[in-house]
Amino acid sequence: MDIEAPLVRQLTQHEIVANIYLFMVAGYETTSAALAYITYVLATHPNEQRKLQEHIDAHFDHNVDQDMLSYELISKMEYLDMFIRETLRMYPITESVINRQSSEEFHIENVGTIPVGTIILADIYTLHFNSDLWGPVDPHTFYPERFATKRHPLAWIPFGAGPRTCVGMRFALMEIKELLVRLLKVYSIVDCGESTQNKNGDVEHFDIQNNHIILNPTDPKNCLYDAISAQTNMSSNELRQRAANHMRHNADYYLKMMPAYEILV
């Protein structure tokens, strides 16, 4: 005899749409946007990128399989953690993540009376760029080492704070770290110098436009492709020549190693 559990109720159409939106924004789009800005920072801060690559390389034994990443190994990469946190400090992806609606009227000194039903948001930008919280180095300067100093627990809140902190924070940080380790072990990210803009300011959920980058192999023997560009209007020969000009070794050396393939996007 089959016994089925009673169906309490079905989700409404509004609840279904809300959950799909949450899955896409919280579970996918935010991580994608964070990686886009981390890539932008890497391309526009080459010295910091090289420092991060050296930091990652120092945690690997060259006699061991480079693909053998583990939670324990990545957790030891302190500068990688600081680099990501500094990027999210300057470019908080969910700037309106902390918001509440007042359930009763209350008064704040020097502010005034807050009526019932008022939506209240935490000003993440004021917190993340507050010189008292993030000095002595200018908060508008990208400086990962500032996270080596203990800060106020609510000075950095890209994932929210309190009992409703993003439940996926640890997972999101770990997947970002693993991707960056695998990427920077193989490639250097280079700014093409075309319309690179200062991205300080409000961060919305969109692609960074008109800021092209090139991925250059740090070791061409380990690369499926020797160079990949976001620009698709270049021929393969133009692409190989342009990428080679940015590589750390002699351009002729790389050009001899590059097969005459077409890159399909």
Q: What is the pLDDT of residue 163?
A: 83
Cα separation, 186 vs 226, in Å, equals 10
- What phi and psi, each to the nearest 5 degrees, are found at residue 171? -65, -45
Mean model confidence pLDDT for the chain: 75
The 10s digit of each residue's pLDDT in 99-140 is 788 899 989 888 889 999 998 888 888 899 999 999 999 999
Which structural domains are found in the chain, ordered by start?
13-211 (1.10.630.10)
Read off the pLDDT of each residue in 209-225 and give the average, rounded to a whole number. Answer: 50
Query: In sequence order, which residues have a C-beta less than 8 Å from that of residue 110 and are 6 or more positions away?
Result: none
Asked whether the predicted pLDDT for residue 204 surpasses 60, the reply is: no
The 10s digit of each residue's pLDDT in 60-104 is 876 555 567 888 999 999 999 999 999 999 999 876 667 788 899
Read off the pLDDT of each residue in 188-205 and give the average, rounded to a whole number. Answer: 60
Read off the pLDDT of each residue in 221-240 and give the average, rounded to a whole number. Answer: 43
> Which residue did the predictor score with more confidence, 85 or 13?
85
β-bridge pairing 112-114 and 119-121: unpaired
The 10s digit of each residue's pLDDT in 147-185 is 999 999 999 999 888 888 887 888 889 999 999 999 998
Cα separation, 98 vs 9, in Å, equals 30
How many Cβ atoms are within 10 Å of 234's Cβ, its own excluded?
14
Interior CA angle at 185 toward 234 and 59, to 5°? Answer: 170
Cis peptide before 115 (omega within 30 of 0): no
Rg of the chain in Å (alpha carbons): 23
Q: What is the pLDDT of residue 222?
A: 41
- Say what the pTM is: 0.68
Q: What is the pLDDT of residue 193?
A: 67
Q: What is the pLDDT of residue 66?
A: 59
Q: What is the pLDDT of residue 237?
A: 54
Asked whether the predicted pLDDT for residue 38 surpasses 90, the reply is: yes
Q: Is 50 left (phi over 0), alpha (psi -120 to 50) or beta?
A: alpha
Read off the pLDDT of each residue in 248-258 and give the average, rounded to a whole number. Answer: 44
Q: What is the pLDDT of residue 137?
A: 96
Q: What is the pLDDT of residue 19?
A: 76
Cα separation, 115 vs 107, in Å, equals 9
Cα separation, 159 vs 170, in Å, equals 10
Q: What percent of the chain has pLDDT over 90?
A: 34
Question: 192 labelled as ligand-binding?
Answer: no
Lowest-confidence segment of 44-58, 68-82, 222-236 by average pLDDT: 222-236
Asked whether the predicted pLDDT for residue 234 surpasses 60, the reply is: no
The amino acid present at 232, given as its one-letter code, is T
- What phi and psi, each to the nearest 5 degrees, are found at residue 163? -65, -15
Query: In sequence order, which residues have a C-beta less than 8 Å from that of residue 103 and are 6 or more positions away?
Result: 116
Q: How confident is the model at residue 214 (pLDDT cuts 50, 70, 90)?
A: low
Query: Which residue, chain included where needed, has tokens 């993030």?
Result: 134
